[in-house]
Structure 1
């Protein structure tokens, strides 16, 4: 093969790669931008509520300060996170 054939082969390979990449655009999982905003706001508010509950929980604070945990402590942790 000569140099020109090598270059043409690389161009063809690059063109094939671009064709494979183009149709893989992900469609939106939301019906509209408004739905997307509502769902994201809902999840953010839920996260903030859970964060606040975790920070204010006296049971969780006591468990975090404890060095050696047993099975009962693990159960308390799981119950406080529900």
Structure 2
């Protein structure tokens, strides 16, 4: 499974640092964790069960920054089914 353009738009934004944010996007439930800057770094994408846990796919973001803090590499890796 690949991330679509609409989901990627949500993940390109900056949010409150060190939090877990839950959203609904079309037919998918999203839950993502942000880093100390507020960038999403861990994503759960699928359908939430009655306890709120996402059943679907897990993605991890790979960010590489230079000494000035500029992002040089940025991509999402599919880590499999959860």
| TM-score class normalised by the smaller sequence | under 0.3
Higher RCO, Cα 8 Å, sep 6+: 2
Q: Which structure shows the higher strand fraction?
A: 2
Compare CA radii of gyration and give the structure with the larger one. 1
Give the structure-2-normalised TM-score.
Answer: 0.21
Give the structure-1-normalised TM-score.
Answer: 0.21
Q: Which structure shows the higher helix fraction?
A: 1
